[in-house]
Chains A and B, each alone.
Chain A
Amino acid sequence: MNIRKLFSYVLLILFLGVVQILFLKNLALFGIAFVFIYLLGILILPISMKTTPLLFIAFGLGFMVDIFYETIGMHTAAATLLAFVRSLWLRAISPTGGYVDAEEPSLNEMGLVWFITYSFPLIFIYCLVFFSADQWGTSGFLGVLNKSFFSSILTCLLAILVQLLFFKRRRGI
């Protein structure tokens, strides 16, 4: 990874974090569909990245969002879990022959269907952990499931949209 690439990752994560904190904090479609777009920053990191730095990045990012959301620990726990499951999941859904010429698990490199199979379960696990922690003992599991499902759909949609709009398309075939 060259320095320019590294810089663009840092910038992307910061940008997504700021958008999450300032604009998406009180956004909830129909009261159930939340957006956790900052997760895209964890999802998009290179495939070859080791789990250890990934865990630290996710932990730090979750903690930053937590401080602003006033939900200390909840985003952190969920994001750390997401980072850990990510490497397992990447191995599980690797195409035959491995990730040969793909560097990052993004929409442009891997295609729409692959990206959805990659990101949706991860975001769903994240939402499940987050909303369970949030509603601990106050409401039934159905409410948690409901919120998680629609939040992951919305987040997934927005993640795709952000990549379509702001990411550079790969040149040629």
Chain B
Amino acid sequence: MLRILQFLYRIRAFILFVFLEVMAVWMIVSNNSPQGGAFFNSSNALVGSVLKQQADIVQFFSLAEANEALTAENAAILQQLSFLQAKPDSITFQLDSTFASTYQFRGARVIGSSLRFSQNYLTINKGSKDGIKPGMGIFNPEGVVGRVKAVSENYAVAFSLLNTGQLTSSKIKSTNDFATVQWDGQNSTEAKLLFVPRHVKVQEGDTVITSGSNSVFPEGILIGVISKISPDEKDPNYLDLTVKLSTDFNKVNYVYLVENTRFNELDSLYRQSEISNEY
């Protein structure tokens, strides 16, 4: 018995090493499940405040650019609004509430982001206090940015579109064919468009937008344009499409968050019918 204890004492460093390593691997695994491990991330109050200070300083230098982009977007929205306003010489009537918008929008600022790894995340300066919930979609005027993963009181952490675990339901605008955008971990300006059958007639330069068939993004938010078409070597039934992303993830700064107010209803319906939905 004493021998065993002596032996164990002699290799105590190794035992400690194995223990710590197992703990680290456990952390990796639990963090990668979509629901778990939301305690230790940058939505933590202390980490969030440090990141916010850093972002305050760094983003000060791009304020002019951000202002310009916002002005351009305001102008575009005003343009659209002028079509929607009732003309004085016409009669309007209220539509049924079924047709009322099911999406709510909020603005926020990105205070931390990574784009060099294969699992990239964003940290946002709004949290549950401002009505941010896990599962909300994130986009900016350029295109889709990501989806909220976990929320604390003042901050939120989101999957970037540049996360190999993030599937975004999309469609090709010209042909209306549904597809899925997934990043392959290689280049931060490109992603793959999956599950497009071979018979679909796509061309380089075709626009890819969100499909609206999931419950995260409304239809028609830009994702990118198709930049390369080749037959899939692994599965000959599909095409291997590369999408040039419209969002410049180097410069993601101010973003919009979109919430589907009927998300819970849809989600429980999916669960009830045992459909696992992509986002």
Contacts and interface: CB of A to CB of B under 8 A. Distances in A.
Interface of A: 21-22, 25-26, 28, 31, 34, 50-52, 55-56, 59, 62-63, 66-74, 76-77, 80-81, 83-84, 87, 133-135, 138-139, 143
24 contacts: A22-B54, A34-B116, A52-B16, A55-B16, A59-B24, A62-B24, A67-B47, A68-B47, A69-B117, A70-B41, A70-B119, A72-B28, A72-B37, A72-B40, A73-B29, A76-B24, A77-B21, A80-B17, A81-B21, A84-B13, A84-B14, A134-B118, A138-B164, A139-B185
A74 B117 CA distance: 11
A55 B118 contact: no
B58 to A, nearest CB: 9
Contact of A70 (B13, B20, B24, B121): B121
Interface of B: 12-14, 16-17, 20-21, 23-29, 31, 37, 40-42, 44, 47, 50-51, 54, 112-121, 123, 157, 164, 184-188
A154 B49 CA distance: 30
Contacts of B112: 68, 70
A52 B16 CA distance: 7
Contacts of B42: 67-68, 70
Nearest to B14: A84
Nearest to B120: A70
Contacts of A51: 13, 16-17
A69 B51 CA distance: 11
Contacts of B113: 26
A171 B105 CA distance: 65
B40 A67 contact: yes
